[in-house]
Amino acid sequence: MPSTPATTTSTSSNFYLTYIKLKFFTKIRRFLQFKTTSKEQFKPSGQPEILIVIEESQNGEMGKEGDKYNRWMVMQKSVKKLHFGSWEEKDVAVKEIKKLAKEDVKRRKLMAELGVIPPLVAMVGGSEVMLRRQRLAVQALVELANGSFTNKALMVEAGILSKLPQKTDNLDGNTRQEFAELILSISSLANTQFNMDSSRIIPFVVSILDSSNSSVDTKCTCLGTLYNTSSVLENSASLATNGTVTTLLRLSSLKEVSEKALATLGNLVVTLMGKKAMEENLMVPESLIEIMTWEEKPKCQELSVYILMILAHQSSIQREKMAKAGIVPVLLEVALLGSSLAQKRALKLLQWFKDERQSKMGPHSGPQVGRVPIDSSPMSPRAVDESKKLMKKIVKQSLYKNMETITSRARLKSLVVSSSSKSLPY
């Protein structure tokens, strides 16, 4: 039955109003929120615009456009309150910014362009009376830093490192963890060309690591920060002179966080100041030798042997300390039961200790120890043979002493374990 003219006019009018509303929301979105999005995404070529509006209406796109527009309005108001509102309004604004920043990286970058980072950084440096507000600001900055190099750089330029609390004992566990997450994210800039003063980060992180109130998760996060900073050669002086080496050696004996601590020590030991600090530390080499016995932690074994290799190379004093600490039996055990990488390193160290007891050393047999005095006469072949026999006797005695333990462990463990330490030379 054909429709009446009135019905037709009413239907056309409703359709036209729906079309106008959809066009309005589409233009608002394009102008305010998606400035970088091309128009072709909203209007495919060869398709009439009226059909696009009908399809969007059928698929519920109008509701999505409304939601996006509402989020934009919330963002706009939050930014305005953060800049010009009262403290109560600022608190509400920070909560909204934190919520919006979680959604996607484009929104995080847009909020940074709107200037939210400097006022948030200023709130981090608040007094103890405003700890709740400080924590809100840190939470928002953690979200804004996620996945955005630019936002991290803006935080450093805004002075976030100078706003770090001098006393971490005043912070509760959750706040300490949130600060640790923020600094870990920012410390990733150390591996870039961005100029960042890591000397401000190190004391703050070490103070959290030395605190008995810090959780294992917080310590792991802080160790990640130290690892990032230790990967830059220029930071070795700050790490070697702030008690960091002692802290790292102490934490390396805790199995929950040992691997990250040892990885950082591995970066430090190849630097002049880092190596010197470790050589002078009273915990070396005993603590590292103890870690070598952790057969359930193959990566820790590999790292500890690596550090001992660097310390022992071309240093008769360090090799003597290691020998007195009982390293040879442990090296024998690792050479038999460790991962393939740990075995290779342990055998290399054993060769050096063997050469240490020989009067003549081949040009490529290991570290050269000093020079033979000019007036000293070479040992006879008989003396050389006796030295070799003595070394074999020492090794055999150590092997027999530990054979029972080694055999029992070997029943439960494969002789070769795959290793993931591909970045190290041995």
In this predicted model, what pLDDT tens digit does every residue of 160-175 receive, in sequence order? 999 998 888 888 889 9
Block residue for tokens 């074999």: 392
Q: What's the full length of the chain, in residues?
A: 426
Q: How confident is the model at residue 365, as a pLDDT? A: 44
Q: Residue 168's pLDDT is what?
A: 85
More confident residue, 370 or 263: 263
Mean pLDDT of 419-425: 41
Give the integer Cα–Cα distance in Å for 115 and 97.
12
CA distance 300 to 286: 15
Residue 279 has pLDDT above 70, yes or no: yes
Per DSSP, helices labelled H in 231-338 are 236-240, 244-252, 258-268, 272-279, 286-291, 298-312, 316-324, 327-337
287 against 1, higher pLDDT: 287
- What kind and span of H or E run contains 28? helix 5-28
Greater confidence, 36 or 264? 264
Lowest mean pLDDT of 150-154, 178-182, 197-201, 388-392, name the range. 388-392
What confidence tier does 208 reach under pLDDT thresholds 50, 70, 90?
Answer: very high
Higher pLDDT, residue 317 or 67: 317
**Spatial CA neighbour of 151 closest among 200, 195, 115, 184:** 115
The rounded mean pLDDT for the chain is 77
Closest CA to 204 of 242, 234, 256: 242
How far is the C-alpha of 192 from the C-alpha of 202, rounded, in Å? Answer: 18
Question: Residue 65's pLDDT is what?
Answer: 54
Average pLDDT for residues 211-220, to the nearest whole number? 93
> What pLDDT, on a 0 to 100 scale, did the predictor assign at position 193?
79
Q: Are 232 and 194 in contact (CB under 8 A)?
A: no
Question: Which of 49-58, 148-157, 203-212 shows the lowest per-residue confidence on average (mean pLDDT)?
Answer: 49-58
Residue predicted with more confidence, 185 or 41:
185
pTM of the shown model: 0.70
Distance from C-alpha of 98 to C-alpha of 101, rounded to nearest angstrom: 5
Range with the lowest mean pLDDT among 54-63, 319-328, 346-355?
A: 54-63
For residues 133 and 119, the answer to whether their CB atoms sit within 8 Å is no
Closest CA to 260 of 234, 289, 226: 226
Integer Cα distance of 285 and 282 in angstroms: 8
pLDDT tens per residue across span 184-193:
999 999 888 7
Residue 16 pLDDT: 43
